[in-house]
A and B are shown apart, each in its own frame.
Chain A
Amino acid sequence: MNRWLWLPLMVLLSPAALAADGPAEEKSEPKVEAPAPADSESRKDVAIKEEEAEAEEEEEENKAEDVKEKSIYGPIQQRLFDQVHELELGWAYLPLDPYVKGYGVQLAYTYHFSHRLAWEMFRVGWSYNVDTKLKDKLITQASNVSPDEFPAVLFWGNSDLVLKLLYGKQTFLNRTVIHFEIFAVGGVSLVFRNPYNIFDMDFQNPRLEIGLNAGLGFRIWFNPTWSVRVDLRDTVILFCFNRADFPIKNSALLGLTLALGF
């Protein structure tokens, strides 16, 4: 009898047991969640990573937008040739003086701030002056003309800002790519003018003058280190220090220099 009583009891109690198992499981859940701190950390990490990724994506989008803003043609290729310091040595021709033509050498150092701006800290040069036919005629045919009356540029020193306007590349016969740059310069000039060349050692009538200069230039790169520049500049001489006068003279310079960039 007892056996038959146990069965319904067992049947009746089993849901209770099952029900009791349920909360037991529910209670055990926190046990499963016992390593909760680590899990929450990982979730936080994931969330942070997602945020970072979103931020990166946004940055990239912004960058892309910036580039689009910068150029209507989309991204511009990175410049292949660039330099910070530039040292130049080359030839100079001063053609505008009606009495002499100057053939000289020049040395320059330029510091490049960016792709657009540079400072040509100094450009110094020396010119060997050759008399023109007009000067020869004047000295030989006119009795009242003295060679002392023709001061010509002997030394010059410039300090200029360089604005690098254009950078480009061209294919030569569809085979070789040549990189080049076009720039404008402007700054101040110190000019030493003397009627005689340096080898004559006659500095009786020198003129130390200051002026402004401006010009354009063109550069072709051979490789990342070496390039060739062609410069066309004009200097307007404004004031003479040792004579305290305002000569307002014009002196153009055509330069061809080899530049070392590093």
Chain B
Amino acid sequence: MRRSRRRYMLILPLLCGCLWAAGSSPARAAEAEGEVLDYGKVYAIQYRAFRMNHEFAVGMTFLPMDAFYKFFAGTFHYVLHFDDLWAWENHFSFAKYLDVDTGLTAELNNRWHVSPTDTPKIDYYIDTNLMLKPLYGKMVLFDRWVIYSESYFLLGIGAIHVTSAFFPAVDVGAGMRVFLSDTISLRFEVRDYVYLEEKGVENALSFGIVFCYNGFAEDRKVIPEEEVEATAREVRP
């Protein structure tokens, strides 16, 4: 009993301290100007300026995690956007011949006269993903230019061709789309592929930049009145 009391005596002040720290001293500028800090509270949300429909995209990906080679890959995407929240992506990446030797093989050979034989290379991979787009907004660049953006998450399955065989893969990812116009946008994304190789589970992390064309964009610009009303109802306080 005494031990448990002592524990409480230690934990309670710590907890109180944390709570006090969490609730204290908001940032200078907003407070100084007497603004009401209504962060997170939604009064009204502008209707989306940009809406995707059929997306055709090409891009470049960098896979930095392999010790022997850093891979670059050309990527090709087709995304069917069902609505503002859900989409379905089909993706193919070609990395063969685009690898860069890190010099590790030469280092092993020069320093210790060791020649690694088991250095598999990623050739290409193909996957199909569910795209969830829960975040849409705008940001300001240097307090001058307003840029509309959308954040998304990916979850999918696919296959990776490594040296001579296909291996099943699961991938997760996240990214941000920056709208340049009704039809053109740029995507910056991170994906991680977990694939089952002969020796066990392997991992491939990729950073990509994708140039996207929004096909049939005008079709999505016509907004049904019911949808507008539904959105308005959602955000009404």
List chain A positions with a Cβ less than 8 A from chain B.
70-73, 76, 78-84, 95-96, 98, 115-116, 132, 134, 138, 142, 144-145, 149, 165-180, 182, 221, 223-226, 252, 260-262
Minimal Cβ-Cβ distance residue in A for B46: A171
The 5 closest A-B pairs by CB, nearest first: A168-B139, A170-B137, A98-B67, A224-B26, A82-B29
Q: Mark B124-164, 1 if CB is under 8 A from A, else 0.
A: 00000000001111111111111101110000000000000
Q: Does B27 contact A (CB under 8 A)?
A: yes
The distance in angstroms between the C-alpha atoms of A87 and B228, with both chains bound, is 43
A248 to chain B minimum Cβ distance, whole angstroms, is 11
Q: Does B16 contact A (CB under 8 A)?
A: no
Minimal Cβ-Cβ distance residue in B for A67: B143
The distance in angstroms between the C-alpha atoms of A80 and B39, with both chains bound, is 7
Q: Judging by beta carbons under 8 Å apart, are B139 and A166 in contact?
A: yes
Q: Judging by beta carbons under 8 Å apart, are B29 and A79 in contact?
A: yes
Point out the residue from A134, A165, A176 that lies within 8 Å of B141, measured CB to CB.
Answer: A165
Q: Does B181 contact A (CB under 8 A)?
A: no
Q: Judging by beta carbons under 8 Å apart, are A225 and B104 in contact?
A: no
The distance in angstroms between the C-alpha atoms of A179 and B33, with both chains bound, is 19
Q: Judging by beta carbons under 8 Å apart, are A174 and B235 in contact?
A: yes
Point out the residue from B21, B35, B102 that lies within 8 Å of A78, measured CB to CB.
Answer: B35
Q: Judging by beta carbons under 8 Å apart, are B112 and A138 in contact?
A: yes
The distance in angstroms between the C-alpha atoms of A84 and B24, with both chains bound, is 15
Point out the residue from A70, A82, A98, A179 that lies within 8 Å of B28, measured CB to CB.
Answer: A82
Q: Judging by beta carbons under 8 Å apart, are A171 and B136 in contact?
A: yes
| Residues of chain A within 8 A of B67, CB atoms compared | 98, 132, 134
| Residues of chain B within 8 A of A73, CB atoms compared | 145-146
List chain B positions with a Cβ less than 8 A from chain A.
21-22, 24-31, 33, 35, 37, 39-42, 45, 64-65, 67-68, 85, 102, 104, 108, 111-114, 134-147, 149-151, 231, 234-235
Q: In the complex, which of the residues A78, A168, A169 has the most CB atoms of chain B within 10 Å of its own CB atom?
A: A168
If A80-B39, A96-B64, A224-B37 touch, whether A169 touches B28 (CB-CB below 8 Å) is: no
A91 to chain B minimum Cβ distance, whole angstroms, is 17
If A96-B64, A224-B37, A262-B25 touch, whether A76 touches B30 (CB-CB below 8 Å) is: no
Q: Judging by beta carbons under 8 Å apart, are A223 and B39 in contact?
A: yes
Point out the residue from B134, B146, B151 that lies within 8 Å of A76, measured CB to CB.
Answer: B146
Query: Main SS of chain B's interface residues?
Result: mixed
| Residues of chain A within 8 A of B108, CB atoms compared | 138
The distance in angstroms between the C-alpha atoms of A98 and B42, with both chains bound, is 48
Query: Main SS of chain A's interface residues?
Result: loop
| Residues of chain B within 8 A of A224, CB atoms compared | 26-27, 30-31, 37, 39
Minimal Cβ-Cβ distance residue in B for A163: B142
Q: Judging by beta carbons under 8 Å apart, are A81 and B39 in contact?
A: yes
Q: Judging by beta carbons under 8 Å apart, are A80 and B139 in contact?
A: no
| Residues of chain B within 8 A of A179, CB atoms compared | 39
| Residues of chain B within 8 A of A82, CB atoms compared | 27-30
Q: Judging by beta carbons under 8 Å apart, are B137 and A71 in contact?
A: no
The distance in angstroms between the C-alpha atoms of A76 and B140, with both chains bound, is 8
| Residues of chain A within 8 A of B27, CB atoms compared | 81-84, 224-225, 261-262
| Residues of chain A within 8 A of B231, CB atoms compared | 174
Q: Judging by beta carbons under 8 Å apart, are A170 and B28 in contact?
A: no
A–B pairs, 12, beta carbons within 8 Å: A116-B142, A142-B112, A142-B114, A166-B140, A171-B137, A174-B231, A175-B234, A176-B40, A221-B39, A224-B30, A224-B37, A225-B27
A229 to chain B minimum Cβ distance, whole angstroms, is 15
| Residues of chain A within 8 A of B26, CB atoms compared | 223-225
B133 to chain A minimum Cβ distance, whole angstroms, is 10
| Residues of chain B within 8 A of A174, CB atoms compared | 42, 45, 231, 234-235
The distance in angstroms between the C-alpha atoms of A185 and B102, with both chains bound, is 25
A237 to chain B minimum Cβ distance, whole angstroms, is 15
Q: Judging by beta carbons under 8 Å apart, are A226 and B39 in contact?
A: no
If A73-B145, A171-B45 touch, whether A80 touches B134 (CB-CB below 8 Å) is: no
5 extra interface residue pairs, beta carbon distance < 8 Å, beyond A173-B85, A175-B42, A223-B37: A71-B145, A82-B28, A138-B114, A223-B26, A252-B64
Q: Judging by beta carbons under 8 Å apart, are A226 and B134 in contact?
A: no
The distance in angstroms between the C-alpha atoms of A83 and B35, with both chains bound, is 15
